[in-house]
Amino acid sequence: MPPIKYFKNIKENGYKHDKNEGIQTILQANNYTIQYNGITLSKENGLIDQIKISNNFDELNKIYCFFTISERSQRNDLININNINKNKYFLLFTNLTEFFNHLDNFCLKNKLKMQRCPVEYIDKNNYEGYVGPFKKFMEYKFQNEYRILIENQDEKPLVLKIGNLSNISLIGESKDMLNHFQITEIS
């Protein structure tokens, strides 16, 4: 698992790169002034758009992001072509509960704190408040992410040794996904 700052600093533009990764709080500049050492900044004299507050310490925490198909997915866009074109392979969990059991056991054994949930997509021009690792700007909504965050301050990526997953997952080439993947509503 790479650290949060990997996604902030990656050279690839657009799909995985997110310069706003790691933001803790966002405030709309037209609602605030900043004062420092006798200088006041406001929307009228220099603040533009948003005030973004980050905590570099959190940038070392590890995140694993994956595309999800869930009840919140749009029917006409269950599998976004951007997600297929940017990844060579896909991994489909056939038993997500068991995958989470593997992950929970790994964290428990290694005394690591973990959080996991779907990403909430926010309007950067109107949202104010806590952002953290589970909120992203609306421009990334096509990713339909579910994230796992493990608190770990080591610079190196975290290797998850969670056992054999072949009995609870399927792997395939992303280019074949649209031809072989079908979702049928049960009436």
| Residue 46 within any structural domain of the chain | no
Tell me the average pLDDT across 55-80: 69
pLDDT by residue (tens digit) across 131-148? 999 999 998 888 888 999
Q: What is the overall mean pLDDT for the chain?
A: 82
158: in domain: yes
Residue 3, number of CB atoms within 10 A of its CB: 23
- Residue 103: its pLDDT value, please? 94
Q: Which domain does 68 fall in, by range? A: 4-23+53-180
pLDDT tier at 79, thresholds 50, 70, 90: low
- Taking a C-beta distance cutoff of 8 angstroms, is the pair 22, 136 a contact? no
pLDDT 10s digits, 11-40: 665 556 677 788 888 999 888 888 889 988
Query: Phi/psi of residue 86, each to 5°?
Result: -95, -5
Tell me whether residue 32 is in a domain. no
Tell me the C-alpha distance between 165 and 91, whole Å.
Answer: 10
Assigned domain for 145 exists:
yes
**Is residue 157 a part of any domain in this protein?**
yes
With respect to residue 34, please indicate whether it lies within any of the assigned structural domains.
no
Q: Is the pLDDT of residue 61 over 90?
A: no
The widest CA-to-CA distance across the chain, in whole angstroms, is 67
Q: Is residue 155 part of a domain?
A: yes
Q: Is the per-residue pLDDT at 77 higher than 80?
A: no
| φ/ψ (deg, to 5) at 170 | -130, 145
Domain count, the chain: 1
| Residue 83 within a domain | yes
pLDDT tens by residue, 83-125: 666 677 888 889 999 999 999 999 999 999 999 999 999 999 9
Evaluate whether 112 touches 151 at the Cβ level (below 8 Å): yes
